[in-house]
Chain A
Amino acid sequence: MSSDEGQTPCHVHSIFETFDDSPQQELIRMCLHQFCDVERLKTVVTDQPDSTVDQMEATLPRCGEAIADLLSRLAKSISDQVGDYELGIHRLDDLIALATEKFYAFPFKDVPACWRDLFREASLLKFSALAVQGIWGISKDSSRKLHKAPPLSGITIDEMVKTIDMALIMAGPPTSLDTRDTISAVLQLLEKCNSNLASGNDEQRSSKRRRLSIVFQNVSNGFPCSSAFAPPVSNPISRTAAPTFDAFEKHMNKPKDSNIGPEPIIVSGALESWPARAERPWNSPKYLLSKTIGGRRLVPIEIGRSYVDDGWGQKVIPFKEFMNHYILPESEESNFASGYLAQHDLFAQIPSLRQDIAIPDYCYTSAPPPHFSSPLAKKHSEVTQLEEPILNAWFGPPGTISPLHTDPYHNILAQVVGRKYVRLYAPSESERLYPRGTEDGGVDMSNTSAIDVGVLAGWDGTELEREKAQSRFPRFNEAEFVDCVLEEGECLYIPVGWWHYVRSLSVSFSVSFWFN
């Protein structure tokens, strides 16, 4: 856990800091002086896609004066630890519920920024209230007040992590870089409070608390070796040892066949410098738990075989629960309940994990526009030019499936842990892949194929299901594809608009880098 040292951003150190502070005291100071600062609340601003820096105006007043007023009163009350603690928590929950109601009232892209800010700021206040619960109501003039704080209990740490993670997942990270830095700093301090609790450094620890925290002492150093059915590779994608920047750019921009455009390629040896594959090993459950406050951090999980199936759903659970229920069980393949941490920007949520990887240089090459043979080319070319690649984590047990779909970006899929089968179809094959249309409720599913590759290939489902699918999608057999088993340490380049079907063959942790 020493890998956290030295990552606290310098500028969040304030004049209030004293050198003999324990992590918990430092945490409380940060909460009080940053999150509960009424002046800061008045100046919370959020990027709107259509506004420039000088157009930014404070967003919270847009929730209405009544809400802005209540929020400042609550901030003041927590800052001074006076007033009715339970009622304060209840009101913060009221405000978080109100913001959540607004998330549903508007279509996702139209939710006014002020409601996301309200969700986040009310959550940061609740986090702070939980942090100071132990010194609530103690006379203010006591200069040693902070030293009277009893150690945070495991239950309180859980509640604090849940509060801040729901805000990061539901409302997204704040626009203010200072607030972002403070959030990662307080979470690192909370990590220290947690490890103190676990190792028993705190004087007042109880045996019950200790039991809660040592659950992971028994965690083994690797993932289970059980593996899932491995489809045979029919039309292997070629491999190349880490090409130069120029060679890769040429691969994308000077395709062999101009009617098809740039083609997928496997790059090996490009992840050698990643700490995630060396001293900060992502294939170690113990390491991953240490990066998530003993597994207390929450992550969004997809439950079910694939996002197009009935019964598919999403939930937010502690990382520890995800590991225990979905990743670690040493059981037969069929017993793996399918839970998949998919397409989540884990690195914005847990910035220290971001230090374990590096954006491949290839993402900064000048990438060609969507190929003309793609029916989605027009739509994909309307996508905003990215300043920086979009990162997503994909972590799950053997047998997770991403159904056949396309993305509006070029993609470098980096395989950090485990193996995955990937099958790709060129954009020109689209009409043989039966893209879905706009479905009930107006959801545009045209980037997803109606085909279940596993059923049609005879890997999943019954013979009867396969025959039915064949008669429903007669042209699918004619579609040409390339495929591979992406091995640990390899990267797969997926050109924009290429249809891909991805299936994990073992416990697998990949990172995708979208760029354009």
Chain B
Amino acid sequence: MELWASGFNAWSQLQFDGELPAEPRDLDVFACVLKNEHIEILRTSLSATVVQTNSGIITAGFPDEFTKLCSKSNGRLFKVALAGNDKVSEFAAKGVTQYDSLQDFAAKKKSSFRPLSCIAQIASNQTGFTLLTSNGTVYTWGDGRYEACLGREVNDERKASDLCEVDELRDLPDRVVKISSGGYMTAALTAGNDVYLWGRQGHPELAEPLMASPTPLDLDGHDCLDVAVGMNHLIVLTTERRIFVVGSGRSGQLGLGSAIIELKEWKEVVMPLKKGQHVVSVHAAYKNSFVRVKDGT
């Protein structure tokens, strides 16, 4: 298996081996950065990438305090999410615990606990959190100033800061199987290969494009196998194993070279894969993208 990456690399977070340069450059096209029989991305942060391989956990870049803290207990990396406003949420078998700040999280000083079972995944963006249960229910909570980023109604009974269901995802033909969040946008992927998006791309105060409720993504009729949301870009893998990107390319995160600063329409990225190789998943971190590639067999 191979891990390919493109984008922001100020702390060499895209480099897993070899001598580290004093002044690492961003990658503006996808390049293979790691080979191993098994590769799984455990956590990405502003300055580090943590992956699980057959040879153990490998970290690239400069691990931040939060990543180090989470790495101390096994399996925690998956279950904790840190928002851009320093709020932390963590799930366990019995529910979700919220912390008002990193310091509170380190000191185990929780601000609230919400019982909930069968939690499968948690994601965060600049000001909010999204949660997915194994039966496909999606919940959001966060900063009420950016109501559209919650993808649901906000009122006295359903406060922005309280964990509430995104109703409009309830009666879809297929259940939601994955969520991804970044910047001010969130995506939900269904078992039927549809993607729903809500929030806004890039700068939070821009009027457009704004989606206050989950909006199906129409990618020229393509079915989607995977989706990932970065700080201000999106990356999608179709069932035909083609990759499409949109948004900011300032740090190379679109993998389309240095000339594209801002991409308003979706565009395909073609990676120079060898015969028989195919893409199995896409990931987005702060301002970079990762793609996992498998050999044909």
Cα–Cα, bound, A67→B286 (Å):
14
Which of A97-105, A179-187, A357-365, A400-408 forms contacts with chain B? A97-105
Q: Which residues of chain B are near A442, meaning CB under 8 Å?
A: 144-145
Cross-interface CB contact of A65 among B10, B64, B127, B251, cutoff 8 Å: B64
Q: Which residues of chain A are near B86, meaning CB under 8 Å?
A: 106, 112
Q: Which residues of chain A are near B104, meaning CB under 8 Å?
A: none
Which size bracket describes the interface of A in this complex?
Answer: 20 to 34
Q: Which B-chain residue is minimally distant from A100 (CB atoms)?
A: B203
Could you give, for residues 56-87 of chain A, a 1 whenever the CB lies within 8 Å of some chain B CB and a 0 otherwise? Answer: 00000000111101100100010000011001
Cα–Cα, bound, A101→B46 (Å):
12
Any B CB within 8 A of the CB of A441: yes
Contact across chains for A441 and B47 when beta carbons are under 8 A apart: no
Cα–Cα, bound, A107→B143 (Å):
9
Cross-interface CB contact of A83 among B23, B47, B62, B83, cutoff 8 Å: B23
Any B CB within 8 A of the CB of A94: yes
Contact across chains for B23 and A84 when beta carbons are under 8 A apart: yes
Cα–Cα, bound, A90→B28 (Å):
14
Q: Would you list which residues of chain A between 191 and 220 have a CB under 8 Å from chain B?
A: none
Evaluate whether A441 and B147 lie within 8 angstroms (CB atoms) in the complex, with A70-B10, A105-B126 already known: yes
Contact across chains for A105 and B65 when beta carbons are under 8 A apart: no
Q: Which residues of chain A are near B46, meaning CB under 8 Å?
A: 64, 66-67, 98
Of B8, B10, B11, B143, chain A has the most CB atoms within 10 Å of the CB of: B10
Evaluate whether A66 and B23 lie within 8 angstroms (CB atoms) in the complex, with A104-B126, A104-B205 already known: no
Q: Which residues of chain B are near A77, meaning CB under 8 Å?
A: 23
Cα–Cα, bound, A441→B47 (Å):
32
Q: Which A-chain residue is minimally distant from B144 (CB atoms)?
A: A442
Evaluate whether A66 and B62 lie within 8 angstroms (CB atoms) in the complex, with A83-B22, A104-B204 already known: yes
Q: Which residues of chain A are near B48, meaning CB under 8 Å?
A: 66
Could you give, for residues 119-150 of chain B, a 1 whenever the CB lies within 8 Å of some chain A CB and a 0 otherwise? Answer: 00000001100000000000000011101000
A262 to chain B, nearest CB (A): 37
Q: Which residues of chain A are near B26, meaning CB under 8 Å?
A: 90
Contact across chains for A441 and B145 when beta carbons are under 8 A apart: yes
Of B61, B85, B144, chain A has the most CB atoms within 10 Å of the CB of: B85
Any A CB within 8 A of the CB of B231: yes
Q: Would you list which residues of chain A between 109 and 152 have a CB under 8 Å from chain B?
A: 110, 112
B196 to chain A, nearest CB (A): 24
Contact across chains for B10 and A105 when beta carbons are under 8 A apart: no
Q: Which A-chain residue is minimally distant from B83 (CB atoms)?
A: A105
Contact across chains for A66 and B47 when beta carbons are under 8 A apart: yes
Q: Would you list which residues of chain B between 183 and 242 have a CB under 8 Å from chain A?
A: 203-205, 231
Cα–Cα, bound, A173→B133 (Å):
47
Any B CB within 8 A of the CB of A432: no
Cross-interface CB contact of A64 among B47, B204, B231, cutoff 8 Å: B47
Any A CB within 8 A of the CB of B257: no
Contact across chains for A94 and B251 when beta carbons are under 8 A apart: yes
Cα–Cα, bound, A87→B26 (Å):
9
Cα–Cα, bound, A70→B47 (Å):
10
Q: Which A-chain residue is minimally distant from B66 (CB atoms)?
A: A64
Evaluate whether A69 and B84 lie within 8 angstroms (CB atoms) in the complex, with A84-B23, A91-B10, A442-B145 already known: no
Q: Which B-chain residue is minimally distant from A97 (CB atoms)?
A: B250
Q: Which B-chain residue is minimally distant from A107 (CB atoms)?
A: B145
Of A90, A91, A105, chain B has the most CB atoms within 10 Å of the CB of: A105
Cα–Cα, bound, A87→B10 (Å):
10
Q: Which residues of chain A are near B38, meaning CB under 8 Å?
A: none
Contact across chains for B23 and A69 when beta carbons are under 8 A apart: no
Contact across chains for B145 and A101 when beta carbons are under 8 A apart: no
Cross-interface CB contact of B64 among A66, A70, A94, A441, cutoff 8 Å: A66
Q: Which residues of chain B are near A112, meaning CB under 8 Å?
A: 86
Evaluate whether A101 and B84 lie within 8 angstroms (CB atoms) in the complex, with A83-B23, A87-B23 already known: yes
B143 to chain A, nearest CB (A): 8
Contact across chains for B231 and A105 when beta carbons are under 8 A apart: no
Contact across chains for B64 and A64 when beta carbons are under 8 A apart: yes
Contact across chains for B205 and A65 when beta carbons are under 8 A apart: no
Any A CB within 8 A of the CB of B25: yes
Q: Which residues of chain A are near B144, meaning CB under 8 Å?
A: 441-442
Contact across chains for A64 and B65 when beta carbons are under 8 A apart: yes
Given known contacts A87-B25, A90-B26, A102-B84, what 17 new A-B pairs fall within 8 Å (CB)? Answer: A65-B64, A65-B65, A66-B11, A67-B46, A77-B23, A84-B23, A88-B23, A101-B231, A104-B204, A104-B205, A105-B84, A105-B85, A105-B127, A106-B86, A441-B145, A441-B147, A442-B145
Q: List 26 A-B contacts (CB under 8 A).
A: A64-B64, A64-B65, A65-B64, A67-B47, A69-B62, A70-B11, A73-B22, A73-B23, A77-B23, A83-B22, A83-B23, A84-B23, A87-B23, A91-B10, A94-B8, A94-B10, A98-B46, A101-B84, A101-B231, A102-B84, A105-B127, A106-B86, A107-B143, A112-B86, A441-B144, A441-B145
Instruction: State the A residues within 8 Å of B (CB).
Output: 64-67, 69-70, 73, 77, 83-84, 87-88, 90-91, 94, 98, 101-102, 104-107, 110, 112, 441-442
**Lowest 8 A-B CB distances belong to which pairs?**
A66-B47, A105-B84, A66-B62, A105-B85, A105-B126, A104-B204, A106-B85, A64-B64
